[in-house]
Amino acid sequence: MTASALAVRHDHDEALLSRVLRCYKPHCRYLKSMTVDVEGEVVRGTGVFSIPESCYIDDTGHLNAVEVNICYNQMLYQVVATCVQQGIGPVFGTWTMDDYWRRQLPDILIARFQSSFTRPIDPRLFHGEFVLDRITQRRLRRDAPPLVSMETSFRYWDDNGGRSDGTVRVAIVSG
């Protein structure tokens, strides 16, 4: 069986996204829709974003580093929630949705964030991609719950050639 035969698409789930973004202030819910594709070991979320007005600064006319991070978090949360809901993978396939909601904010931590900006992106309408490149679990102590480490990458683009991308290491600690 080839890897392409294992490809599965999970269409946008409005109810799930609404619940995932509930922890954000209404004017900071930038992710509007997302599909999640699973092909072999790779999980990829592709989304549409809109930031009509920055939540913290006057209009700069372009997507900035703070908004990139917020958008990344929203993609991360939606992809993980989809993996849990669909039973995807050895880590998230063992979680319940109650586990996810309990752990979403306190246990999912950015350990390292690196981004670059190639061309300015119009924040009013742009696209993003989140890729879960690798996920591992290990125990720091024999009697401790496992620490989950995720290596991820992302990119954003708009219809005018704007581009930003980066890599992020995420740790999921047990709460």
User: Range of 26's domain?
Assistant: 8-105+114-134+154-167
What CA–CA distance (Å, rounded) separates 122 from 141? 47
Number of domains in the chain: 1
Query: Among candidates 82, 85, 71, which has minimal Cα distance to 24?
Result: 71
In a domain, 25, yes or no: yes
| Per-residue tokens: 94 | 């063992």
144 falls in which pLDDT band (50, 70, 90)?
Answer: confident
In a domain, 80, yes or no: yes
Helix, strand, coil percentages (3-state) for the chain, rounded to 5, are 30, 40, 35
In a domain, 3, yes or no: no
In a domain, 125, yes or no: yes
* Tens digit of each residue's pLDDT (9 = 90 or more) over 12-36: 999 999 999 999 999 999 999 999 9
In a domain, 141, yes or no: no
What CA–CA distance (Å, rounded) separates 172 from 175? 9
In a domain, 173, yes or no: no
Q: What is the CATH number of the domain that holds 51?
A: 3.10.129.30
CB neighbour class for 19 (10 Å; exposed up to 12, middle 13-18, buried from 19): middle
Q: 108 Cβ partners below 8 Å, 6+ apart?
A: 76, 77, 80, 170, 172
* Tens digit of each residue's pLDDT (9 = 90 or more) over 69-96: 999 999 999 999 999 999 999 899 999 9
Q: Is the pLDDT of residue 2 over 80?
A: no
